[in-house]
Structure 1
Amino acid sequence: MRLVFAGTPEVALPSLEAIIGSHHELVGVVTRPDAPAGRGRTLQPSPVARRAGEVGVPVLTPAHPREAGFQAALRDLAPDCCPVVAYGALVPRSALEIPRLGWVNLHFSCLPAWRGAAPVQRALWAGDEVTGATTFRLVEELDAGPTFGVMTERIRPEDTAGDLLARLAEGGAGLLLATLDGLADGTVEARPQPEEGLSWAPKITVAQAAVDWSRPALAIDHQVRACTPAPGAWSTWAGERLKLGPVRVDPDRESLPPGELAATKQAVHVGTATQPVRLGLVQPCGRRPMAAADWARGVRAGAGARLGEGRPDDPR
């Protein structure tokens, strides 16, 4: 088949590589426009755009896929199908109707669970034990199209959103290619999503990533791992934001009041509504990540010191 791939970030690269190495003909790539990146905030092409350039595939970067010029260029490429992985923009009906076999999206959940922008993060935050990836036909309604195939993946106890997404991206690439192969030879059929089991996965904001130490330890563990690496879980110390890496629930420690620190040379524990959690890496504002014990020594976190008091703009 003639394919035009739509995707933007690194998580889309395994699927792009699978298509490049397949017997299908990759005739173009659609990706988001160049965006500021790095310390200098200079405009940089997306990871998908860079890889397409390396293999000499034409790249389309519309500000929005509803643009008439983009749709004309897509028609000129005459794709049979447009596979999509984390493109980052809603595709209007006028563009959806251009390829004869439609747009096939790889979504990182077992639909209809976790429709939306942050399915991996929301699955971790909810404490799900299993998630997966689904291929489905793109429609105007968000993540609601009929499905072609699904794979499942066990969520490991120490998975971060970054860890889990990386595995799903690799496994999902094979699922997407198998779906495309099936569409080409007529052996796969789209099936409507079931009505039961629907849940939503909106993007997690920086404000939502703030840790509430009055919650149970396991819930905090889920939240921090769900927010790693982005947007990054955080608390406050001395009126400034302190970014938190994954924590570890420690049932053998004596209980502490929520937010209260217990620091030794080797470890820093924080009280929750249940068992304390042991901090891993922390990142003070304007500094690099460091071991929590090193941070605590530097700020002289003595007896009774607490995290989470005040707001980042509060000098207390």
Structure 2
Amino acid sequence: MGAPGRPHSGARREGEPALKLLFAGTPAPAVPSLEALLASDHEVVAVLTRPDARAGRGRREVRSPVAVRADEAGIPVLQPPSPRDPAFLEQFAALGVDCAPVVAYGALVPPAALGIPTHGWVNLHFSLLPAWRGAAPVQHAVMAGDEVTGAATFRLEQGLDTGPVYGVVTEPVGPRDTAGDLLERLAVSGAGLLVATLDGIADGSLQPVPQPAEGVSLAPKVETADGAVDWSLPAHVVDRRVRGVTPAPGAWTTWRGDRLRLGPVEPLPTSLGLEPGQVSVGPSGVLVGTGRGSVRLGQVQPAGKRMLPAADWARGARPVDGERVGA
């Protein structure tokens, strides 16, 4: 595996970086953290990110947002097929980093890598741990109707988001927030928390605290199937579930046998006599009945077409009395 990272001496000379870092991250929400670290007293000596992936109609290889930003900054980019790869572990050890901050890297860090940096791996997670441990904490917080969430930094260990916590920031969940809206804000506030955490580690003023045993909840990855709307649920639950899967993987239902993608909806307290899934088009817009109350559709996307206002869709679709979505 190679030699462990160099010991951190505590005091540092003027002009010397506080900590030498390997930054691990892949998607766009990790970029604000990389930006904040590049502007800090710490030195990012390399970036670890997932390999280039094929995307789009042409299936061309695309670099991750973190890799693109690292390229712009002239930072070496490491893209092993797996962080278990022996060649990567040897290369990582040779860097002699003090700490490895990680934000949504997208692969499990193996035990062989956890012990290489002097101060381990510090994970920025977008929830108030121990709530919403797992791959999709922001989506689950919105779907559950949480009024407050946040971000936490913790020392990575083998368990799923179980390590001791360094610090947290809180963030209110607005009544119309989508998961994308909330994650965008948390990515920025979390970046500040990550830098402050590394500052505290560097000067010895910060020690992690074990997570409480109570209040644990899990946030597994949200799949495409999870975006299917269950119209038998109450309108306020349909609303937050749609917002929770927006923009990805996206909410959807079916219409005349084809998939119909949905943007955020507006919950209404009354059903107006509509059965679950029943569509009504009128001066109030395009309404759909639920198990309790109804919702007003906003944007919709028919199969193979672009997103458009629900009223425009209805003019072309011409729902007949009693016709339903999701049937």
With normalisation by structure 1, the TM-score equals: 0.96
Of 160, 170, 181, 1:142 maps to 160
**Corresponding residue number in structure 1 for 2:297:** 279
**Corresponding residue number in structure 2 for 1:170:** 188
2:73 equivalent to 1:55: yes
**Corresponding residue number in structure 1 for 2:125:** 107
Q: Which runs of 4+ in 1 moved over 4 A?
A: none
Of 184, 194, 211, 2:229 maps to 211
Give the 3-state SS of the residue equivalent to 1:254 in structure 2.
Answer: coil
Shift of 1:302: 2.2
Q: Provide, for residues 91-121 of structure 1, a one-character-per-residue CA deviation record: whole Å limited to 9, x for no partner.
A: 0111011100000000000000000000000
Q: Provide, for residues 20-57 of structure 1, a one-character-per-residue CA deviation record: whole Å limited to 9, x for no partner.
A: 01111110000000001223120111110111011111
Q: Decide which moves more: 31-40 or 276-285.
A: 31-40
Cα distance in 2, alignment partners of residues 232 and 24 from structure 1: 38
2:205 equivalent to 1:187: yes
2:28 equivalent to 1:6: no
Cα distance in 2, alignment partners of residues 204 and 67 from structure 1: 28
Shift of 1:207: 1.3
Cα distance in 2, alignment partners of residues 253 and 268 from structure 1: 13
**Corresponding residue number in structure 1 for 2:15:** none
Cα distance in 2, alignment partners of residues 41 and 17 from structure 1: 29
Q: Provide, for residues 167-194 of structure 1, a one-character-per-residue CA deviation record: whole Å limited to 9, x for no partner.
A: 0000000000000000000011111000
How many equivalent residue pairs?
309
**Corresponding residue number in structure 1 for 2:150:** 132
Cα distance in 1, alignment partners of residues 179 and 62 from structure 2: 25
**Corresponding residue number in structure 2 for 1:307:** 325
Does the 8 Å contact 2:82/2:107 carry over to 1? yes
Work out the percentage of aligned pairs sharing the same amino acid.
61
2:310 equivalent to 1:292: yes
Cα distance in 2, alignment partners of residues 125 and 117 from structure 1: 14
2:180 equivalent to 1:152: no
**Corresponding residue number in structure 2 for 1:312:** none
**Corresponding residue number in structure 1 for 2:47:** 29
Cα distance in 2, alignment partners of residues 167 and 208 from structure 1: 24
Aligned residue type for 2:141: A
Does the 8 Å contact 2:271/2:292 carry over to 1? no
Q: Decide which moves more: 265-274 or 69-78.
A: 265-274
**Corresponding residue number in structure 2 for 1:197:** 215
Does the 8 Å contact 1:255/1:276 carry over to 2? no
Cα distance in 2, alignment partners of residues 206 and 9 from structure 1: 18
**Corresponding residue number in structure 2 for 1:313:** none
Aligned residue type for 2:199: D
Shift of 1:288: 0.2
Listed as ranges, the gaps of 5+ residues in structure 2 are 1-18
**Corresponding residue number in structure 2 for 1:121:** 139
Cα distance in 2, alignment partners of residues 208 and 165 from structure 1: 19
Q: How does 1:75-90 map to 2 (within 5 A)?
A: 75-90=93-108
Cα distance in 1, alignment partners of residues 199 and 269 from structure 2: 50
Give the 3-state SS of the residue equivalent to 1:148 in structure 2.
Answer: strand
Give the 3-state SS of the residue equivalent to 1:212 in structure 2.
Answer: coil
